[in-house]
Amino acid sequence: MLRLRRAVVGAALVALGGRRAALGQVPVLLQGIVDGEAWSTNASSNLLTRNLGRPAGLGRLQMWGAYEPVRHWVLYGQVEGEAGNARSVSDTHDVYSDQFGIQYSPTPAFVVDAGRLTPLIGTFSTRRFSTRNPLIGMPDGYSLQYPMGVKVSGETKHFDYRAAMVSLPADHLGYVPRATARLRPAVGGGFTPTVGARIGASFTAGPYLNKSIGATQLAGKTWSAYSQRVLAFDAAFSRGYLETHAEYASGSYDVPGRAKAVSGFTYYGEAKYTLSPRFFLAGRAERNKYPFIRPTASATWIANLTDFVDGEVGGGYRFTRSTLLKLSARGDRWWVRSGANGFRGRGGRAIAIQVSQAFDVLEWFERDR
């Protein structure tokens, strides 16, 4: 989710960071990244364990494209495929599309996107791809929900904004029931007082349950009567060779049969320091206290807070402009209630190495001319 920011496909299609990318006068973009990863973990981490604690590997291909048939109108899409036993989910391979849609951008201050969008809550989506992420992992609080919707956004010298109607909540898969699509508002904005500094906020509210939940479990209401609310804040600062980011989000969830909503939070801080044009060091620390919400067979609900911290440190070396090697170490610590089921343990560690190769398909054809 790092897509090339704003011009060719809008703030999220292509996360390699540039303005309108087109080769010569051809209004076409076709780029990608190939990642290879090797992991060594133990078997006692709910977050970090891969392949039951045995050595594991992962291959990933990400590609995105954009086409401008008429000035100011851009069609875009992004697909991703993963395979290997180092995936954090049980399936060993998957192919999916995070984004696709159409964008109308007459000016940088007014851009309209329609299709599958990057999450509007928070800002990590612009740094998710391996070529922009200074580490190998990502904050666990980052939502992987890519909703369908329509978004209006823009930026000026000191301000940026985004407002949308989207189909999915900004929740964490696995912690709450998978949501049924239902339109909900999402807004965000930021202020850039000077070059290298930005502060922002974002908010969304709407249903988070699904229509397959039985009527006896909904306490006499419909599934859509139970809402989630998320308020997030973000900040970024860079000076010289130092780049920092921080985010905080608070969420509350209505739970059937409970008079009060269940609330939780997540936050992280991240720093990257470039020691030379090719070499950098980075670190990230995260704190999470998420609601874990599930219906039970007896028509009651589990609604507890998970509680853990994790951190990652590492470094990267750029062999060329498009080839990046990263090594990182990560650890976590969980506070688990005695007798709680479904937890591997109270924490663990992970060491990972990643090689990333970015490419531009159109450049291959140019070189052949």
3-class secondary-structure state, position 211: coil
Give the bridge partners for 28, in sequence order: 67
* Predicted pLDDT at 34: 97
**307-333 pLDDT tens trace:** 999 999 999 999 999 999 999 999 999
Helix, strand, coil shares, percent, the chain, to 5:
5, 55, 40
Q: If you search the block for the tokens 């290997």, which residue do you land on?
A: 84
- 358 vs 174, which has greater pLDDT? 358
Distances (CA, A) of 221 to 12, 254, 255, 292: 37, 12, 11, 21
Determine, yes or no, domain membership for 217.
yes
Predicted pLDDT of residue 227: 96
Range of the domain at 313: 107-356
Is residue 245 situated within a structural domain? Answer: yes
Residue 166 has pLDDT above 90, yes or no: yes
Kindly state the helix (H) or strand (E) to which residue 361 belongs, with its residue range.
helix 361-368
47 falls within a domain: no
- Judge whether 184 lies within some domain: yes
| CATH number of the domain to which 178 belongs | 2.40.160.10
3-state secondary structure of 125: helix
**Which helix (H) or strand (E) covers residue 231, if one does?**
strand 227-239
Location of structure tokens 């450049």 = 363
pLDDT at 14: 37
Domains identified in the chain, total number? 1
pLDDT band per the 50, 70, 90 thresholds, residue 11: very low
Mean pLDDT of 84-89: 84
Question: What does DSSP assign to residue 369?
Answer: -
